[in-house]
Each structure stands twice: as structure tokens, then as C-alpha cells.
Amino acid sequence: MTKENLISNITTTLIDILGIEITNKVKDILILEMRNIEIREIETALTISGDRRAYIITKFLACKKLAGLTERTLKAYYAECLKFLETINKNIEDITVDDVRYYLALGKKKRLSDITIDNQRRYLNTFFDWCLNEEIIKRNPIRKIDKIKTTKKQKEAFTEYEIEKMRAYLFNEKTYCGRNTKEHLKEIKLRNIAIFETLLSTGARVTELINIDKNQVAEGQDELIILGKGKKERKIYLNAKARIAIQNYLKERKDFEDCLFISYDPFKDNTVHRISQAGVENMIRKLGKRCDIDAYPHKFRRTAATIGVRKGMPIEQIQKMLGHCSLNTTQIYVNTSDNEVKLSHEKYLS
């Protein structure tokens, strides 16, 4: 066992006990303290109880959790790696490129989309790259398989009419909730308005939105720092409508929770907790259904980007606002109608 493997094994064991932040600090201390230490194995092999493949997947996921991946992403990695290994039914060291091709071909036979199959390839490539770095395998069998070309379709943003229709509904709706939360109807209505305006103003992901705390928007400030994908910090900005909506919502709050957006347990009197990702998604989808609009939280990101471009915001600034690593990703988010292209052509090329 190498020194790096030993440190990795220790931190993998500690992550569920100490959490990501403290475990990372422990890892840094171990690296410093063991810099001049040489490790020699006494035993000829490491004994692992149970299924070795399950052990390797568990260790892989623990390392990815330490790197800051979300629970949703970790679940996707787990499901894909487990399905692949159960399908191929070989030791990880014995898996070949033909095994991977066979697995992906099964996806095509089941008529999975090219995007889904390429996602399978990406997940497995990440897993086998990790196995290679951990010296579990000598080569990554995915490396010889090219990226599957997919057609990236531009999804639609909300139209101005749809935005105003949903906004009007939120202001006029009669909110319904559980039997024990009727006294909080006005508060929940103002919360929904604040969520709607914040998503539209910032283009934030739902996972980012639900983790905002009250102290970050104290005294109506128009910018705040959030923690995005990969634990990367970035600034998001609140327009006047979002700031006013948040202020109105906070004035109605009677609890002492730190989180900005809360939810009440309908089965427990006045039990408050931070609103969940599913809670926001359900609220937006119900809103869309009642307004006869295809609405989901991620569509607000596309809409924020599209509105920004239409009003002259440089694409590089939109990329920074959305927290994209690649400009190509941002360009997929932006909707530009044929009519807008025609008007720009008349303006610049006539």
C-alpha cells in the first residue's frame, strides 16, 4: 500500500463521521506530517470482507463526496457503476474495452437516447479514471471509446407573457397547505413569490437557492455569494422585484430559523425546516400546471440568460452569472429567436 492510498483510506473512513470540511483539514495534516515517512507493507494482501466490487464503489463515492459532488450526482454514479458491474459480472481488473462496448450497445438495443448512453460513458470513464489513479487497474478501458455525438437541442425559455401570467397568479392565488399550517398561508404565498422572483433575477440552481441564509440578504442588499457546483463560490444579483419580494416575505416570518426559505411540516404544528429541492420543484411545477405553462426551476436559468442577452448583457458575463465553466454550455442556455436575428441583421448588416 502506498502512502497516498493509506491517507485516502483514512479520510474515506472519516468522512461520514467528521464531514467534508473537517476531513479535508485532516487530510492536509496527514500529508504534511507524513511527508518524510516511508510505508512498507508487512502483509502480502489487504483482506476485504464482502463483495470487493461493492467496496471499491463505496470508496469511489466517498472520494467523490469529499471532492464536493452533490447527493444527486453521487446517486447517479452509484446506480450506473453498480448496473455496469452487475451486467458485465467480472472483476474490475479484468474488464476490457469490448465489455464496455457491449454494455453501451445494450443501451442502444433498449432504445436509450444518445444523450443517456453518452452519460453512461461519462460516468464509467470517471469511475475507471479513479480506479487507475488508485492503482486498482492498469489501464482505463473507456479511453478507447469516443464521445458519442449528440444533438444539443436548445430548450425554450419563458416568454414575457408566461412570466407575467405566473406572476399574476402568484399574487392572486389562494394558497392551500396542510391542516396545521393555515395560520401561515400569507407567509407561504409571500415565500412562493420571493422564490419566483429570486430564480428569475439570479438564474440560480435550486440547490443553490435553498442553501441561502437570511443574513446573506440582510437590509435589502442586492448581491450575495453562493456556493455552486464543485464547491465554487460566485456572486449572484437580486433585482428590485426580488429584493422587495424577499423583504415582504421576511417581514411575515415569525420563526428564528437561519435559512431564507422555509417549509412547514403539515403533520406537526409549526415545525419549520429549510425548504427542500423537491419542495421548490413541486411548487414551480404546480404553478406552471395551474397557468397551463410548462414550468420547472431550471427553465428560470435559461430565461435569466436569454433576458440578459436580449438586453445587451455580454455572453461572458452571463457565463459568470450562471457559474458555467464553458462558454459553450452558456450558449446552449440562451434562446435567440429568428425574429431577433432578423432585426439584428437589419441593424448591423443592412
Residue position matching grid coordinates 415569525: 254
Supply the pLDDT for residue 1.
60
Supply the pLDDT for residue 347.
58
221 against 151, higher pLDDT: 221
Q: Domain 163-348 - what CATH class?
A: mainly alpha
pLDDT tier, 268 (very low <50, low <70, confident <90, very high otherwise): low
Measured N-to-C along each axis, helices 3-18 and 20-33 cross at an angle, to the nearest 10 degrees, of 150
Tally: H helices and E strands in the chain: 15, 4
Enter the C-alpha cell of residue 315: 455572453
Closest-CA residue to 320 (of 261, 257, 234, 237): 234
48 against 140, higher pLDDT: 140
The Cα 124–Cα 117 span in angstroms is: 11
Q: Tell me the pLDDT tens digit for each residue of 30-76.
A: 877 777 777 765 443 333 334 788 889 999 999 988 887 878 889 99
Supply the pLDDT for residue 137.
93
Q: Tell me the pLDDT tens digit for each residue of 175-232.
A: 555 555 567 788 999 999 999 999 999 989 998 999 999 988 877 678 888 887 767 7
Residue position matching grid coordinates 478507447: 144
Beta carbons of 277 and 195 less than 8 angstroms apart: no
Beta carbons of 216 and 319 less than 8 angstroms apart: no
Supply the pLDDT for residue 45.
37
Instruction: Give Rg (Cα) of the chain.
Output: 25
Supply the pLDDT for residue 292.
95
Per-domain residue ranges for the chain?
Answer: 3-133, 163-348
| Lowest-confidence region among 24-28, 115-119, 189-193, 228-232 | 228-232
The Cα 322–Cα 223 span in angstroms is: 14
Report the 10 Å Cβ neighbour count for 308: 19
- Integer distance in angstroms from the first to the last C-alpha of the chain? 70
Q: Please say if the pLDDT value at position 341 is more than 60.
A: no
Distances (CA, A) of 96 to 68, 86, 103, 291, 298: 30, 15, 11, 52, 38
pTM: 0.65
232 phi-psi bin (left φ>0, alpha ψ -120 to 50, beta other): beta
